[in-house]
Amino acid sequence: MSNSAASPLPPTPEAEMQELVQKTSEQTKETVWRCADTNALELADHFYKGMLEYPQASVFLGNTIVQDRLHKSMQGWIRELFEHPQKDLEKLTAHQRHVGAVHARIQLPMHLVNRGARMLKHRLKHHLAAVCTDPALHIDALGYIGQMMDLALELMSSAYLRNSEREVRSDEAYRLFSMGQNMSVERERQRYALLEWSQDALFTLHRPLRPVALARLSTSEFGLWFTHKASVIFEGAPEIQAIQESMLTIDTMLLPQLQSLAAQELKAAELITELQSVVDEVKFQLSTLFERQLEVENGRDTLTRLLNRRFLPSVMNREIHMAQTQGQSFAVLMLDIDHFKRVNDTHGHEAGDIVLQQAAAIILNEVRNGDFVFRYGGEEVLIMLVEVSAEVAHRIAEGLRKQFEARDFLVGQGQKLQVTVSIGLAVYDGHPDHQYLVRRADQAMYEAKTSGRNRVCIAK
């Protein structure tokens, strides 16, 4: 029988930080605090100047809005970490974990976080050397700076890892969910969308007067669906690249050549034949793509059949990445049914459910194949419009508002209701955190509510 006792658990980073603050001399903490407080602005400047030299970091930090917000946050973080006396150590450690969670949410690589922390640490030590003439105090202060920043990074890293794993699980669940849609129905819908585009293109080409430009396949209903949804549903399938290459050939080679050959009918006919051939190849690849997939059932709101918000981070992070790398804009609409509680209170919750189902049908009928519609809350719906300008997004939002205003909602036993909606609109502005964009749309929706309802407000 062993007499050895169980090994004690190692101290947590929170406990280590508390111990470090308690055992460090008041003079050392005061010296470091004064140095950090005095030089916080210069330290933040140094951080951004150094980090923006790295192309990978500029994707996250290059936006003006991000710089304005985070520059102040960085100064606050430096002052908070070395504040003396520490007012709330528990709040300090919780904030480090929050920062790590945000880094995971925007998919900021952890090695960039570590690089930035190292730059700050070296710069702060440089400032310390200029004001601290006592060698013993200088050594203690250097140790305190190094340990405090290392512990802060450890807290961030643990939260980063935990949230990254959650995001990975959510991404995979969304991919499986996307694969689990009714493939036969979706296949026919997209084949029809592709056929409709090709017929419109051929009809346009045979007109006596050609238009200024032919509509690109990539911006059609089929193209938007393929770019924003199919690449997730069929991730890794070889047909994806084949269809992408065919679409690129159509949009960048065949259509421009056809447009420029108005007077050369023979050459135009040859190109039209080639265009039809490439479209047929896309049809073939599309059929193969659908036939390869298995059906999986999960992930929709049971009442409205809209996407549930579980997949919102996966979808929005992907759209943000596309916006950063391809320059595409997108927008978020936050739609809320006005006086919905009154519907439930007056007509019953069953009537409220019927209103929600009809509202979902109106929204799905108004948006495009490539857009995403989530049931965000009780009577709140989040709509993500892909590849739209602010003007187009506002026009879509107004169209939705008018559709609700013009409809009669049937709630059983011959009863009809008039239902209006308040909509908040936020266009992606370069900020890498999807929650920032959602909050802006939510705030705009709240403004629409408080300013009279049945209106669209744009986030400032």
Cβ atoms of 440 and 433 closer than 8 Å: no
Lowest-pLDDT range of 18-32, 209-223, 282-296, 381-395: 282-296
Residue range 397-453, pLDDT digits in tens: 999 999 999 999 988 777 889 999 999 999 998 888 899 999 999 999 999 999 999
Return the top range by mean pLDDT from 203-212, 245-254, 416-425.
Answer: 416-425
Q: Tell me, what's the pLDDT at 100?
A: 86
Cβ atoms of 178 and 191 closer than 8 Å: no
Return the top range by mean pLDDT from 47-61, 102-116, 295-309, 330-344.
Answer: 330-344
Is pLDDT of 4 > 50? no
Reduced to 3 states, what is the DSSP secondary structure of residue 355? helix
Residue 375's H or E segment, with its range, is strand 372-375
Q: Tell me, what's the pLDDT at 10?
A: 79
Q: Return the number of other C-beta atoms located less than 10 Å from residue 193's C-beta.
A: 19
Summarize the confidence of residues 215-236 as an average pLDDT.
85
Q: Tell me, what's the pLDDT at 51?
A: 81
Q: Tell me, what's the pLDDT at 332?
A: 97
Which residue, 381, 242, 368, 358, is CA-closest to 309?
Answer: 381
Summarize the confidence of residues 219-226 as an average pLDDT.
90
The DSSP line for 300-327 is: B-TTT-SEEGGGHHHHHHHHHHHHHHH-
Place of tokens 């193209």: 223
Residue spans per domain, the chain: 13-169, 183-291, 307-458
| Percent of the chain at pLDDT exceeding 70 | 87
Summarize the confidence of residues 196-224 as an average pLDDT.
78
Q: Give the whole-angstrom CA distance, residue 47 versus residue 43.
A: 6
Summarize the confidence of residues 71-78 as an average pLDDT.
88
More confident residue, 370 or 334: 334
List Cα–Cα distances, 239 to 235, 236, 244, in angstroms.
10, 9, 8
* Among the four given CATH numbers 1.10.490.10, 3.40.50.300, 1.10.3470.10, 1.10.10.10, the one describing domain 13-169: 1.10.490.10
Note the helical H segments in 132-212. Answer: 135-179, 183-205
Q: Tell me, what's the pLDDT at 284?
A: 77
Q: Tell me, what's the pLDDT at 271?
A: 81
Copy the structure tokens of residue 287: 């059929």
* Among the four given CATH numbers 3.30.530.20, 3.30.70.270, 1.20.1560.10, 3.10.450.350, the one describing domain 307-458: 3.30.70.270
What pairs with residue 410 in β-bridges?
416
What pairs with residue 300 in β-bridges?
307
Which residue, 146, 149, 75, 156, is CA-closest to 109?
Answer: 156
Copy the structure tokens of residue 248: 């690129």
Which residue, 122, 117, 97, 102, is CA-closest to 51?
Answer: 117
Q: Give the whole-angstrom CA distance, residue 169 versus residue 373.
A: 21
The mean pLDDT value of the chain amounts to 84
Decide if 13-169 and 307-458 have a common fold. no
Model confidence band, residue 296 (pLDDT cutoffs 50, 70, 90): very low
Copy the structure tokens of residue 421: 């909606």
Return the top range by mean pLDDT from 31-40, 53-62, 211-220, 339-348.
Answer: 31-40
Is pLDDT of 386 > 50? yes
Is pLDDT of 1 > 70? no
Cβ atoms of 385 and 367 closer than 8 Å: yes
Is pLDDT of 2 > 50? no
